[in-house]
Amino acid sequence: MSAFVLAVMAGTFISMGATFMLVIKSDSELPFAATQLLGGFSFTLGLFLILAAGAELFTGNCLMVMGPLAGRFSWGSLLRSWGVVLAGNLVGSVLAAALVLAADVASANGGALGQAAVAVAEGKVALGWGVAFSRAVLCNLLVCLAVWVGHSANSVTDKFFSALLPVMAFMAAGFEHCVANMFFIPLGLMLNGGAFPALTAAAFAKNLFFVTIGNAAGGAIFVALFYFLIFRKELTKA
């Protein structure tokens, strides 16, 4: 139960970072690079809160692949844990989207924030599966590196800077994060009003499937597996 509640918190934290990012996206006068960099900086709020306050995020938990590889627990236990955390992340993200809608945050900047939210969601569901998967792999390579570095942090300041550059990089490059999409796309669906017919629940499910698989592959293979191979002797000690 505690893992599920912590996962709900993580979904909410990521959603707050995503809302912060939409404020930047709503300003059409900013140049592209400035929008991407400032958006990435603001989105860092989510992972920083997870590292500093404590919560369960699926993308970061892809590092747990090291456990079965080291014989510490079973693959079945890992998959059950991932399932609980994914469900909690989804609940927290959708709940946050509903609260953002109820708070009328979309009306900010003369309604430009709401327009930006719908545009972000529409852009995500328009991605082909191969593009979504590849962007998700690259995203979680960076997120898991941020978490890996964050685990060695000794202060709140260290945790912030552990998250900062990797998160800024993946957001600026337009990579795909499944938990962020659990907020962006439902919020877009709530605000859409039929403006984008392709923005549907089915399109959300398709995007979420391929992005989740890509995030799992990126974190599990390019970070967890590689570091396990480097530190295998230390990790498999009784």
Residue 137, pLDDT > 90, answer: yes
| pLDDT tens-digit map of 43-102 | 999 999 999 999 999 999 999 999 999 999 999 999 999 999 999 999 999 999 999 999
Q: Chain-wide mean pLDDT for the chain? A: 96
Q: Per the confidence metrics, is the pTM higher than 0.85?
A: yes
CA atoms within 13 A on the CB side of 228: 19
Query: Which two structure tokens, joined as six digits, stand for 37?
Result: 């960099």
* CA angle, 160 then 112 then 42, to 5°: 5
In sequence order, which residues have a C-beta less than 8 Å from that of residue 45 and are 6 or more positions away? 13, 16, 17, 20
Question: Which pLDDT does position 195 carry in this prediction?
Answer: 75
* CA angle, 187 then 132 then 137, to 5°: 110
More confident residue, 185 or 152: 185
On whether the CB atoms of residues 55 and 49 are closer than 8 A, the answer is: yes
In sequence order, which residues have a C-beta less than 8 Å from that of residue 82 and are 6 or more positions away? 58, 61, 64, 216
On whether the CB atoms of residues 144 and 47 are closer than 8 A, the answer is: no
Residue 17, pLDDT > 90, answer: yes
**Strands (DSSP E) found in 135-181:** none
* d(C-alpha 38, C-alpha 30), whole Å: 10
- Quick one: which H or E segment has residue 221? none
Q: Which of these, 15, 12, 25, lies nearest to 119 by C-alpha position?
A: 25
Question: Which pLDDT does position 196 carry in this prediction?
Answer: 80
- When mean pLDDT is compared across 35-39, 203-207, 233-237, the lowest value belongs to 233-237
On whether the CB atoms of residues 60 and 150 are closer than 8 A, the answer is: no
